[in-house]
Amino acid sequence: MADLTTKYMGLTLRNPIVIASSGLTDSFGKIAELERNGAGAIVLKSLFEEQIILEAEQNLREARKNSLIYDEFSETLDYIDVHIREKELGKYFDIIKQVKKDLTIPIIASINCVSDIGWTGFVKKIEKAGADALELNIFIMPFGFDYNCDEIEQKYYKIFRKVKQEINIPVAVKISPYFTNLGKVIMNLETEGANGVVLFNRFASPDIDIENIKVTTAEVFSNPAEINNSLRWVAILANRLKIDIAASSGVHDGKAVIKQILAGASVVQIASVLYKKGTGHITEMLKYLESWMDKKGFNYVDQFRGKLSQEKYSHLDVYERLQFMKYFSDIK
């Protein structure tokens, strides 16, 4: 039988299927169920930088209303600020500690951040709680017309540096494809010391209701067709990077898992398909992967990882835009 053991950021996973940061990973009970159904690792639901800061600021505003107790220079205000942040993070720490105590599945903490101010020191406590790794979900809106491309990219590097200097556990960066030179940005993150990169962020997208003439939210969950963009970039970057690549979005079945590994992904991240089909679908995906490996004569995942990456595939331009033009050039 095929051995699905996989390495990701120095961690040993029983298979390459990682559960992405989502509501599926926000409690010990849900994580335990994911482990029972075969997940290789889980990424905790993201702790939002903005959430912590906003809660702290709200409580500070309430405290300032009572000037008889708290004056502008009171040390109590500093205490409240720290206390609220500690309380929010405390829930997070408890989940990590319980998973490490009662389960064997690797647990990757996640922080959704937009700056390096006011929160980076807390990652030490995430490490101390027992997290095996950290995933930084960074997205700075590329609509700041007062900034040039380099200034926006430098913010990513600055956030990463501040976090990396605080902890010793592996750190992956989850990013979007919205860069002028995506490959160079990822290579720069590798140079800065990233242990992995997750391709790509999935965002809430707008839609328009033409009957009621209002803006609405588009489909929240990914669909299988969305695999193409991450597949392209996994294949382009694989074997050019020393760090691990996690492929995210559009992975809904065992076929998609195989495709991303052939392209060069170390692991795949899934979430949407489990909302649609339940956590038991993990088992079905793993069965398909094992069956395919047995049929093709692969004993280990590493034997076919990156086999069809751009660097190893004989047709180097197959992943580039030119192929799209060639495809339609024959249509009359």
The average confidence (pLDDT) of the chain is 86
The whole domain housing 224 covers 6-329
pLDDT range class, residue 322, cuts 50, 70, 90 = very low
Can you give the pLDDT at residue 74? 42
The structural domain count of the chain equals: 1
Can you give the pLDDT at residue 117? 85
Cα distance between residue 79 and residue 110, in whole Å: 25
The type of residue at 94 is: D
Cα distance between residue 123 and residue 136, in whole Å: 11
- Is 1 a domain residue? no
Instruction: With a cut of 50, say whether residue 331 has pLDDT above it.
Output: no
Neighbours of 195 (CB within 10 A): 21
pLDDT digits (tens, 9 = 90+) for 228-247: 999 999 999 998 999 999 99
C-alpha distances in angstroms, 180 versus 2, 153, 186, 283? 41, 10, 12, 39
Instruction: With a cut of 70, say whether residue 294 has pLDDT above it.
Output: yes
- Is 300 a domain residue? yes
CATH of residue 180 = 3.20.20.70
